[in-house]
A and B are shown apart, each in its own frame.
Chain A
Amino acid sequence: MDFEPKIVAFVCNWCTYAGADLTGTSRIKYAPNVKMIRFPCTGRIDFMLLMKAFANGADGMIVSGCHPNDCHYTSGNFHARRRWTVFRSLLEFMGVDTERIAFTWVSAAEGAKWADVVNSTVEKVRALGPCEAYKNADYE
C-alpha cells in the first residue's frame, strides 16, 4: 500500500487557524493528511507536544502562527521563535530528523499559503518515508 504521511499541525487560533479557515471558504483543495490542533497562541506550543506527536505516530509536523509583529498577544510568537530555534538544535544534536517539522508563519489572510504549506510538507514527508526511528525507539 502507498504510504500516506500522517501530519499534525500545531497552529495558533488567531492567524494560522483563521488562515486555514480561509483556505476552506475560498474552496482551495489541499492534502487531507493533516490533523490540526488549535492553540491560543504559538507561545503555548510546548516542545513536549511535538515529542508526543512523534511518539504517537506522526510522520511530520507543521508548527505555525502569526507573522512577527502580528501576534494577538504581541509577543507570543517572538518567544516561540527562540524556543523553536533551541529545540531544533537539540533535536538535530540527538539525531532526530528536523526536516519532518515545518515551521511557518501563516496569517489569517494567507489561505493559499496554508494550502501550499500543507501540500509541500506532505510531499516532503512522503519522500522521507514513515517516521519509524522515534516511534519505535523502545523496540530497536
Chain B
Amino acid sequence: MSKLQDTARSLLDAGEVKVAIGYGEGSVGRVRPLFVTDAAGAQGLIYDGRCTQNLAVYTYKKETAAMGKPAVTAGVATMRALMRLVAERQLREGDFIALAVVGDEVTVCRTLSEMENWLAAAAPKPREADMEMIARIEAMTPAERWAFWRGEMDRCFRCYACRQACPLCYCTQCTVEVNQPQWIPVGATVQGNLEWHAMRAMHLAGRCIECGQCGDACPVDIPIHLLTVKLAADVRNVYGAATGMARDETCAMSIFKPDDRENFIG
C-alpha cells in the first residue's frame, strides 16, 4: 500500500472523513477522479504524473459536497485552489482535509496553518510550457495574435468544460448564461466566443491559481488557460499579489493603491 492509500484508509477507518477524493485508473491509460467512501476502496487511489485534474472543484459541487467531509488528494495546484477557495469564503477550516502530495510523500493538512506552511515551502510556479507559449504569443505582431485567437475561437463550441474544470468557476449562475440582459450570444460564434472567454478571463483576474486545467479540459485543445494564466502573471507583476497562498489574501481586482500604475491614462 502506498502512503497515500494508507493515509486515506486510516482517515476513513477512523471516521474522520466520509470520502477520500483522489485519482484512480481510468480507461485507455488515463486517470479519473475517484471517490472512495470505504476503507477497502482506498487501494484504488493513485498519484503520478498523469494526475493533474484539479480536485478542488469537488469540494463544493453539490453532488460531491453531499457526500460529507472529504480528504482531498492535492498536488500543489489543488492545494492553491483549496487555499484560494478559503480566501474567497467558499470553504472553511475543518470542512476538509488536504492530503498534500509530492511524489510518494503525503502531508496530512487538517488546519489552514499546516496548508499555508506547506504551500510556502512548495513555492509554486506557473507551468513552464504555459509561460513559454505566452511568451511566444506576446512576441507576435498584433495582427498575428488576432489571427491566432480568432482561429482558436472559431473552434470553441461552448461546451463549458473549461468552466466546469476550473476550481474557481463556482458561481451557480454564470454571466454567459444570463439572458436578461443577454450579454453573450448563446450560439458558438467567433465574436460571442471571444466575449465569453474575455469575460471569463476578467472574472478570474486576481483569482486564477494557474493550474491550467481549463485548457487541459478543452475537448478541442484550445489553450484557453493561456488567457487566465497570462492575467495571473500580470496581476503578480503589476500588483505583487499572490493567489492561493494564504487564507487572508484579497483579490487584486477588489483593492487598490492610490499610486497604482496608470501610464496609459491621459
- The residues of A with any CB-CB pair to B shorter than 8 Å are 47-48, 51-52, 55, 68-69, 75, 78-79, 81-98, 102-105, 117, 133-134, 137-138, 140
Contacts and interface: CB of A to CB of B under 8 A. Distances in A.
Given A75-B256, A81-B262, A137-B150, A97 B142 contact: yes
B146 interface: yes
B266 A78 contact: no
Q: Which 4 A-B pairs have the closest CB atoms?
A: A95-B146, A95-B145, A78-B256, A104-B266
Nearest to A87: B202
B205 A86 contact: yes
Given A79-B256, A85-B238, A93 B227 contact: yes
Contacts of B239: 82
Contact of B149 (A75, A82, A95): A95
A117 B238 CA distance: 27
Contact of B202 (A55, A69, A90): A90
Contact of B198 (A47, A75, A83, A105): A47
Q: Chain B: interface residue count, which band?
A: 35 or more
A91 B234 CA distance: 13
Given A86-B234, A137-B191, A81 B256 contact: yes
Contacts of B231: 86, 89-90
Contacts of A96: 146
A95 B143 contact: yes
10 contacts: A81-B260, A85-B260, A86-B205, A90-B198, A90-B201, A90-B231, A92-B145, A93-B227, A94-B194, A137-B190
A86 B189 CA distance: 25
A103 B256 contact: no
A133 B147 CA distance: 10
A90 B230 CA distance: 8
A92 B142 contact: yes
A48 B146 contact: no
Given A79-B256, A82-B252, A82-B260, A117 B266 contact: yes
A82 B149 CA distance: 24
Given A48-B195, A69-B258, A82-B252, A93 B190 contact: no
B230 to A, nearest CB: 5
A118 to B, nearest CB: 12
Nearest to B254: A79
A86 B238 CA distance: 9
